[in-house]
Structure 1
């Protein structure tokens, strides 16, 4: 926050008015067992239903229901192919944590489950294996032992302690068993509208008054000012991360001005073949 204040006082004042527990991992309670600070999950779901958002309400709900049916089946197929105690993503993250833990030095106090784990100078952390906490708070927030905790667990095992499988120290939310429980529910198929039961509703819900806007309806989300600034440069759309094709040889990596003659050679080859064929036909006619 001090660095932000030195950079922009107005931004520091604006951010100071928001409680830190809503945007800073250091103040998360750990109840959600997640350190996500963005709404990426909502964005992903919103992107998946983009084809159904402009439909009438019942058609939009039917689109979402059918998408969820396909989604559940896709995840169940992944579960059938997966092995191990943790989910594939949790396994990938935990393997990275274990690689980092090999560079840490552990000191045990000789009694209890308190360990001092140090890596960089003046960056020691205290791990309590009994409470499953670390002073870096990553274990509490994510439910997955941090690199300090993994190093402490290895130290306890080296001193004859019973630790079991390293994956058993991970919160159950990251296990395959919990993943299977989440996707144990199904979205059942239903008949089409022609077979729906007609009901005599006491009220009739009329559609809202619709005013046709000028221009083509927009389906894409509105981009922020920062995104637009990154996309545009000097008033023109940036071609960053795009591959253009040469108009002569149709190959990527260069344009017509920097073409080394590939296109001309191809054209010449084609003209040469057609010219030879014409000469042969003329000689045969004579």
Structure 2
């Protein structure tokens, strides 16, 4: 790119140099991944309704949100404790069989590395909830280096160091409101804009594909390669010029069959 489009490279370096790697993203939004999985999940969520008119599509999405909203409100009532259950489960799994040791610590700051000695070392700061691996800042959940330090302190609890966005109280507060209910489309008031908007003129096209192709790592089917059949011995996996039974007589018989 630098050779073909130097002006494009200059633009990216000046304007977007902090937007292309996860390590350079802000840590205010506590997420442990930044991918297009959200868009994929949403597209799969509405794949049966994608071909609807825009007003019908938006109304269907509103109904889907109502269902999800009420479901999560019911789930929130069952939660007990301070931290969401899936976060506590993750902490328990990450703290199992840790191969990390605390080299030194002072006033809430520790240096940790893998047991047995390694050139990779990390600095954990409990007061600021940071680790030099940046995973703790990005997700709000203590990373394995922080867990190793926290569990080495007698009486210290892991849930104390989890960001408050994972509190049960925050989850309940998110879904304590209500989305207003509205009647169906036939009862909506007529819009009076002083003009009529005609639908766009579209050419007839083939229906769109609803399901995306899945990769092999996602459980999709792998491409099946067809093994070649030798025209001389009719066995699979080799060509006629590597056939062990190749002879002038066999080649002549093959050509006669053709």
TM-score, normalised to structure 2's length?
Answer: 0.70
Between the aligned partners of 2:187 and 2:226, the Cα distance in structure 1 is 55
- Unaligned stretches of 5+ in structure 1? 1-16, 237-286
Aligned to 1:142: 139
Is 1:57 aligned with 2:54?
yes
1:219 aligned residue (174, 188, 209): 209
Is 1:166 aligned with 2:158?
yes
- 1:69 touches 1:188 (CA, 8 Å); kept in 2? no
Higher relative contact order (CA 8 A, sep 6+): 2
- Unaligned stretches of 5+ in structure 2? 1-11, 228-258
Q: In the TM superposition, what is the alpha-carbon distance from 1:171 to its structure 2 partner?
A: 0.7
Q: Which runs of at least 4 in structure 1 moved beyond 4 Å after TM superposition?
A: 17-21, 224-227
Root mean square deviation, CA, Å = 3.0
Between the aligned partners of 1:157 and 1:112, the Cα distance in structure 2 is 15
What does the per-residue CA deviation read over 1:106-135, in whole Å, with 9 as the maximum and x for residues that have no partner? 2444x4222122224223321111221111
Aligned to 1:156: 153
Specify whether residues 192 and 230 from structure 1 end up closer, same or farther in structure 2 by C-alpha distance, changes over 3 A only.
closer
> How many corresponding residue pairs?
211
Specify whether residues 48 and 225 from structure 1 end up closer, same or farther in structure 2 by C-alpha distance, changes over 3 A only.
closer
Specify whether residues 112 and 155 from structure 1 end up closer, same or farther in structure 2 by C-alpha distance, changes over 3 A only.
same
Aligned to 1:187: 179
Aligned to 1:104: 100
Between the aligned partners of 2:26 and 2:191, the Cα distance in structure 1 is 48
Secondary structure of the 1:157 match is: coil
Aligned to 2:85: 88
TM-score, normalised to structure 1's length?
Answer: 0.64
Specify whether residues 225 and 113 from structure 1 end up closer, same or farther in structure 2 by C-alpha distance, changes over 3 A only.
closer
Aligned to 2:108: 113
Secondary structure of the 1:75 match is: helix
Q: In the TM superposition, what is the alpha-carbon distance from 1:67 to its structure 2 partner?
A: 0.7
Q: In the TM superposition, what is the alpha-carbon distance from 1:143 to its structure 2 partner?
A: 0.8
1:129 aligned residue (114, 126, 145): 126
Aligned to 1:279: none
Specify whether residues 104 and 191 from structure 1 end up closer, same or farther in structure 2 by C-alpha distance, changes over 3 A only.
same
Secondary structure of the 2:96 match is: helix
Between the aligned partners of 1:100 and 1:175, the Cα distance in structure 2 is 26
Specify whether residues 51 and 98 from structure 1 end up closer, same or farther in structure 2 by C-alpha distance, changes over 3 A only.
same
Of the structure 1 ranges 172-181 and 53-62, higher mean CA displacement relative to structure 2 is found in 172-181
Q: In the TM superposition, what is the alpha-carbon distance from 1:230 to its structure 2 partner?
A: 5.9
1:68 aligned residue (65, 70, 81): 65
Q: Which has the higher helix share?
A: 1
